[in-house]
Amino acid sequence: MTLVEYNCTGLDGTPDLVTGILRRPTGLGKRKAIIIVHTGNGWGKGASSQSAENVTIQYAKFLCENGFVTFEPRFFLDRENKNEYRDLPRCFNALKFLSTLDYVDANSISITGYSYGGFLSFAAATEWAHRRYCYPGTSFCSYLPFYPICWILTDHINRLPGYPAFPPDIFDRWVRRPMAIFQGGKDDYEDQDPLVLDKLISAIPDNIQRKMTTGFLYPNTSHGWDRGYDYTFEDPHSRKGSGGTNTNVFNPYVTIQAKQDLLNFLNS
C-alpha cells in the first residue's frame, strides 16, 4: 500500500494535485486494475470504522488479494467539498495515471464507486464524459456503480429534474462497455422501491449499452449496507425526493456477496 499523488487539471485550467492509495498484488506481469471512488461523505479521517474511506479500503483489500491493482483517489475530506464537475475529470486523470504504470494492463482498467462515487462511475460511461475528459489512448473497460441513487439518474435520463450538476443530455449517448449496478431493495433514497434498478436500466436510451448493463439487486438491503455500522441521517433526496430519514443498516452477508459478485463480473 502506497500513498501517491497524480496530476489533474482544475476547472479553471490550473494544476490540481490529487492523492490516493495504490495497492499492488504480489507476483509478476501486467495486472487488471480498478479505481475505487469514495462516497459523498468524503474519504474520511484516517481509516476509522465510521469513515467513508473504510468502504473503499475493504474493497481495495479484497480485490488486491484477488490479483487486481487498486487505486483509491481522495477527492475530498468531507461532504461539504464535493463537486461533480471537478471530481468526474479526476476519475479520468486517475485512469491516465494507472495506464502509465508498467505493471498495469492499460486495456483492463475498471471504475467502481459508492453512492456519490457510484454516480461518478455511472456518468463516466457516457460519451459526453469521454469527449471532455478521457485522454487519447485510454479508456475504462467496465463501470461498476454501487447504490448510485437510481431514481435521480432515471429522472435525469427522462428529462425530469434529475442531477443538476450535468447537462440534460449527458445520458443520451454511451461508450458501450460492460456495466454492473449494485443496488439494495430497501434503500430509503429510493423509498424502498425494489424496482428502481430495473427502471434505471430500462431507461438507458442506448439499446446496446442497455444490453451490456447487468443489475445486482439485494432485496432486503438498505443504502450503504457495507459501511460496517448502522446510522440514520436526514436527507432531502430520501424517499425519491420527498425528503426525510435515511437509515443505512450494515449487512455483513450482502457485503460479502456483493464483493464476490463484483469480482465475478470483473473476471467474466
Tens of pLDDT, residues 88-101: 999 999 999 999 99
Enclosing domain of residue 59? 2-266
Query: What's the pLDDT at 10?
Result: 61
Q: Where residue 1 falls among pLDDT bands split at 50, 70, 90?
A: confident
What is the distance between the alpha carbons of residues 197 and 185, in angstroms, rounded to a whole number? 9
H or E segment and range at residue 133: helix 127-133
Residue with cell 496530476: 7
Query: What's the pLDDT at 27?
Result: 87
Amino acid code (one letter) for 110: S
Cα–chain center distance at 260: 17
45-54 confidence digits (pLDDT tens): 444 445 555 7
* CATH number, position 97: 3.40.50.1820
pLDDT averaged over every residue in the chain = 91
What is the distance between the alpha carbons of residues 103 and 235, in angstroms, rounded to a whole number? 42
Q: Is 159 exposed, middle or buried (0-12, 13-18, 19+ CB in 10 A)?
A: exposed
15-71 confidence digits (pLDDT tens): 788 899 999 999 889 999 999 999 988 887 444 445 555 789 999 999 999 999 999
146-171 confidence digits (pLDDT tens): 999 999 999 999 988 766 678 889 99
214-244 confidence digits (pLDDT tens): 999 999 999 999 998 898 999 999 999 999 9
Percent of the chain with pLDDT over 90: 76
**Nearest of 228, 268, 233 to residue 59 by alpha carbon:** 228
**Nearest of 216, 17, 28 to residue 112 by alpha carbon:** 216
- How many domains does the chain divide into? 1
